[in-house]
Structure 1
Amino acid sequence: MEKVAIEDVDVQRNPLDVHSVRKPVSSVLGTTDFAMNYFELEPGESFSGGLHTHHDQEEVFYLESGEATFEVGREREEILVGERELIRFAPGEYQTGYNSGDERAVGWALGAPDSRHDWEDLESIVDCRECGEETGHATTLTDEGRFELTCNDCGTSFTL
């Protein structure tokens, strides 16, 4: 049994600096089969920083307060999620979410199976610097804690 207060979990920021508060609760609780991250997003901040999918993990987002807009699929259909609402993404479903309101949004990102991403199963959709269009990019985390993206079409890599 493990117990923790949110106030006691350290903030761990995204390398893209897209949110002020992200607390990896699952790391502190020692979960191995379930990911749980607490977020406080100021207006305009995002959960992840870009359209992506986890081929190996489904995700559920719960908004305690505020609101968030999620862009879903390669077509980026917009879905508004309000206070006390949830949204689920199946493995392989592209999504990104951000605080689209005027107030702070407080919420949770939950994922299963596994408490951490398998980087080989994470794919981001970004503009390829060689192809000149949006393509799928393999996404890895470097030893320096930055994202390395490699175009699945042409193999061009760059680091953010």
Structure 2
Amino acid sequence: MEKVAIEDVENEQNPMKVHSVRKPISRELGTEEFAMNYFELEVGESFSGGLHTHEDQEEVFYVESGIATFEVTKEREEVQVADGELIRFPPGEFQKGYNDGEDTVVGWALGAPGAMHDWDELYSLAYCPECEEETKQNVRLGAGSFELTCTECGNTQG
């Protein structure tokens, strides 16, 4: 058995600095098959850096307080998730959650299977200057920043 208080978990920001409070609860609890992260998003902040998908993990977001907006699928349909509501993304569905409201959003990102993402199964949608359009991009974490490689032409940026 493991037990932890949220205030005792060290804050760990995304390398893109898209949120100021992210606490990796699953790491603190030592989970192996389940990911759990706590977030406090100020206005303009997001759960992740951009529209992305995990081919190896489904994700559920629970909004404890505030209203989070999610861009969903490549068409970027917007869905609002209010306090007490949840939203689920199956593996392979593109999404991005952020706070475009007036109040802080407190929320949780839950994922399974696995406590960590397989970087070979993480993709983002981004503009490719070679293809001259938004394409699916492989994501790699470099020296403190992300590197994107277009799956269509192989162009690397970042």
**1:1-55: CA deviations, max 9, x gaps?**
1111101111111111110100001011100000000000001100001101001
**Structure 2 CA distance for aligned equivalents of residues 9 and 146 of structure 1:** 23
Q: 1:150 maps to what in 2?
A: 149
Runs of 4+ in structure 1 deviating by more than 2 angstroms, as ranges, are none
**Structure 2 CA distance for aligned equivalents of residues 59 and 145 of structure 1:** 24
Q: 2:5 maps to what in 1?
A: 5
Q: Does 1:101 align with 2:133?
A: no
**Structure 2 CA distance for aligned equivalents of residues 108 and 15 of structure 1:** 19
**Structure 1 CA distance for aligned equivalents of residues 23 and 48 of structure 2:** 13
Count of residue pairs brought into register by the alignment: 158
**Structure 1 CA distance for aligned equivalents of residues 26 and 68 of structure 2:** 22
Normalised by the length of structure 1, the TM-score is 0.97
Structure 2, unmatched stretches of 5+, are none
Q: 1:53 maps to what in 2?
A: 53
Correspondence list, 1:83-102, <5 A: 83-102=83-102
**Structure 2 CA distance for aligned equivalents of residues 87 and 102 of structure 1:** 21
**Structure 2 CA distance for aligned equivalents of residues 47 and 146 of structure 1:** 16
> Following TM superposition, by how much is the alpha carbon of 1:102 offset from its aligned partner in structure 2, in angstroms?
0.2
**Structure 1 CA distance for aligned equivalents of residues 153 and 54 of structure 2:** 21
> Following TM superposition, by how much is the alpha carbon of 1:79 offset from its aligned partner in structure 2, in angstroms?
0.3
Structure 1, unmatched stretches of 5+, are none
Normalised by the length of structure 2, the TM-score is 0.98
User: Aligned residues: percent identity?
Assistant: 65
Q: 2:138 maps to what in 1?
A: 138
> Following TM superposition, by how much is the alpha carbon of 1:129 offset from its aligned partner in structure 2, in angstroms?
2.5
